[in-house]
Amino acid sequence: MDGKKITIIGLGGVGGYFGFKLAYQYKNNPTVKITFVARGETYARVKAEGFTLLSPEHVDPVVRPATIVNDLAQLPESDLILISVKEYDLEQVCLQIKEKIKADTLLLPLMNGVDIYERMRKIITTGVVFPACVYVASHIKEKGVVEHKGNRGKIILGKDPQKKSREPAWVVDVLKESGVDTIYKENAITDIWTKFFFIASFGLVSARYNKPIGQVHKEPEPRARVRAIMGEIQQIAVNKGITIPKNIIELTFEKASTFPYTTPTSLQLDVHTNKAHTELELFAGSIINYGGQLNFPVRETEKIYAEILQLYVN
């Protein structure tokens, strides 16, 4: 991997975990340059003390990247850019970096949502964007510190639908060398949508009722609403030509049953702690937008979206 320049934008639970692993792997390799992009207190803390990952995977929890910047205007020339920002910041970040993206720049978005690739491509028309799906149980413990529990973080990535000749081989190698469970598929879109079935339906219903995954899975009313939302997502996927298992709804319920009964969802926690920004638009907003584009009714999603907004009013 000699001579590669890798930039990580966003040091939250996801970006911090994967960014740490890359910086740690190549900390003694001067030919691989890792740059972190962070803001405010996180930038100040990491610049002064290094970035900390509390994880059973690392005995040495602190790493210092080769470079850290707090302004995207200072973004260095990069071979690979990992983007791990809040979904409501995605467009602004893309607008700020688009002039720095060259034909051979590789971008890997590590974000939830089924519309991330499309939203990026509306702004960034050059470079190569690898659609990806991420699984990692990590969160910000304090500024500059991320805590990781559970399984090793996993990234599933596929080819850019607009640049199918571009293989992500060296990207996969870099991630694997850094200890990341990395799976490459020709088409990762199915995996992205499969994850979305779970996080969107259970996220919305758990937020609406302020009930954990186990309760939503067990109780008749919230379970029925989860099923209805998944039905709308399924119709959208079919209309968009996305290949998904025919029994995706039952498979998703089976997945939910494997979580500890009291597990909350991030949307539930954010809504009921009155966070100003949440994943509501990422989940409900994208379903409603796709429904409009395809002229397909998504009444259950529209209803629960309105109900969750009302929780903020009250």
Structure confidence at residue 286 (pLDDT) = 96
| Helix, coil or strand: residue 128 | strand
Residue 150 has what pLDDT?
84
Other residues' Cβ atoms within 10 Å of the Cβ of residue 135: 15
Q: How far is Cα 212 from Cα 217, in angstroms, rounded to an integer?
A: 9
Give the phi and the psi of residue 276 in degrees, each rounded to 5.
Answer: -65, -35
Digitized pLDDT (tens) for each residue of the chain, 314 residues in all: 568 999 999 999 999 999 999 999 999 998 899 999 999 999 999 999 999 999 999 999 999 999 999 999 999 999 999 999 988 899 999 999 999 999 999 999 999 999 999 999 999 999 999 999 999 989 899 999 999 988 899 999 999 999 989 989 999 999 999 999 999 999 999 999 999 999 999 999 999 999 999 999 999 999 999 999 999 999 999 999 999 999 999 999 999 999 889 999 989 989 999 988 899 999 999 999 999 999 999 999 999 999 999 987 66
Question: What number of CA atoms fall less than 13 Å from residue 8's CA on the CB side?
Answer: 28
pLDDT at site 120: 98
* Residue 67, strand partner residues: 35
Residue 79 CA to residue 15 CA, distance in Å, equals: 17
Q: What is the CATH number of domain 5-187?
A: 3.40.50.720
Per-residue buried b or exposed e for 261-275, using 16+ beta carbons within 10 Å of the residue's own CB? eeebbbbbebbeeee
Q: Would you state the pLDDT for residue 314?
A: 62
Domain spans of the chain, in order of start = 5-187, 190-313
The DSSP bridge pattern shows strands 128-129 and 51-54 to be unpaired
Among the listed residues 245, 203, 202, the one whose alpha carbon sits nearest the alpha carbon of residue 227: 202
Given CATH 1.10.1040.10, say whether it is the number of domain 190-313. yes
Q: What is the reported pTM?
A: 0.93
Measured CA to CA, the distance from residue 235 to residue 278 in angstroms comes to: 25
Classify residue 96 by burial, with Cβ atoms within 10 Å: 0-12, 13-18, 19+: middle
What is residue 3's predicted lDDT score, i.e. its pLDDT? 84
